[in-house]
Amino acid sequence: MKKYTLIWIILCLMAVHLSAKPLFTADGIRTESIKQANADIKNGKLKFLVQGGIVATRVKGQERFEQKYGVVYFDLGCVGPSDIRIEDYNKVVASFMDKKYGKAWRKEVRKDVKGI
């Protein structure tokens, strides 16, 4: 009886393990990041995501960049979001900026913006 119970428990655990799916797949996060970036661009809320530290980092002159190009630096702090990949999001925004302003803006952007 104990032998059959043990086998049954093992089979149940294997079935649960095999049917479990991750909450966010790598492709799903990438897709969501691109979708969110495009939605923000469409809504006129252009931003670059920046992974910071405990305290938000301000770089001298970043306000001029933000005003000139209509984009803000959005500091996520030391813990980034689990459902958006910063690099993928910023690539979409950078592509939009390239089309709108050419590549000159890249010389002025903060160096800690990942993905561009």
112 falls within a domain: no
Question: What is the residue-level pLDDT of the chain in tens, covering all 116 positions?
Answer: 667 777 777 766 676 665 555 555 768 889 999 999 999 999 999 999 998 877 777 788 899 999 999 999 998 887 777 788 999 999 999 999 999 999 999 999 999 899 88
Structural domain boundaries, residue 75: 24-107
78 in a structural domain: yes
Amino acid at 41: I
In a domain, 6, yes or no: no
Q: Is 114 part of a structural domain of the chain? A: no
Q: Is the entire prediction scored with pTM above 0.85?
A: no
DSSP-assigned states of every residue in 81-104: -SS--HHHHHHHHHHHHHHHHTTG
Angle formed at CA 32 by CA 89 and CA 22, multiple of 5 degrees: 125
Q: Does 31 fall in a domain? A: yes
Query: In angstroms, rounded to a whole number, what is the distance separating the alpha carbons of residues 85 and 87?
Result: 6
Tally the domains of the chain. 1
